[in-house]
Amino acid sequence: MKLNFKMARKQFAIPYIVFLLAFVVFPLILVLVYAFLNEDGGFTLSNFAVIFSDGTILVFLKSFLIALITVTVCLLIGYPIAYILSQRKYGFPRIIIFLFVLPMWVNFLLRTLSIKFLFEYIGIQMGYFTVIFGLVYDFIPFMILPIYTILRSMDRSLIEASQDLGASPNKVFLKTIVPLSIPGIISGALMVFMPSMSTLAISDILSNNKIKLFGNFIDLWFTYDSWNIGSAMSLILLLMIGLSMWITNKFSSGTTVRGELW
* The predicted structure's pLDDT at residue 251: 65
Share of the chain above pLDDT 90, in %: 24
In sequence order, what are the residues at sequence separation of 6 or more whose Cβ sits closer than 8 angstroms to the Cβ of residue 166? none
135-176 residue pLDDT tens: 999 999 899 989 988 888 887 787 778 877 777 878 888 888
* Residue 124 DSSP symbol: P
Residue positions counted in the chain = 262
Cα separation of the two ends of the chain: 49
Dihedral (CA of 142, 143, 144, 145) sign: positive
* The predicted structure's pLDDT at residue 91: 55
Q: What is the mean pLDDT of residues 193-201?
A: 88
Nearest residue to 38 via CA among 229, 247, 262, 257: 229
Nearest residue to 150 via CA among 101, 79, 247, 93: 79
Half-sphere exposure of 186 (CA within 13 A, CB side): 17
Asked which of 57-66, 94-103, 170-179 is least confident by mean pLDDT, the reply is: 94-103
- Residue 75 — very low, low, confident or very high, per pLDDT cuts 50/70/90? very high
User: Model pTM?
Assistant: 0.81
Angle at 155 between CA 153 and CA 159, to 5 degrees: 125
Q: Which CATH number fits domain 51-252: 3.20.20.140, 3.40.50.720, 1.10.3720.10, 1.25.40.10?
A: 1.10.3720.10
Q: Per-domain residue ranges for the chain?
A: 51-252
220-262 residue pLDDT tens: 888 887 888 889 988 988 888 888 778 777 766 544 433 333 3
* The predicted structure's pLDDT at residue 50: 82
Dihedral (CA of 213, 214, 219, 222) sign: positive
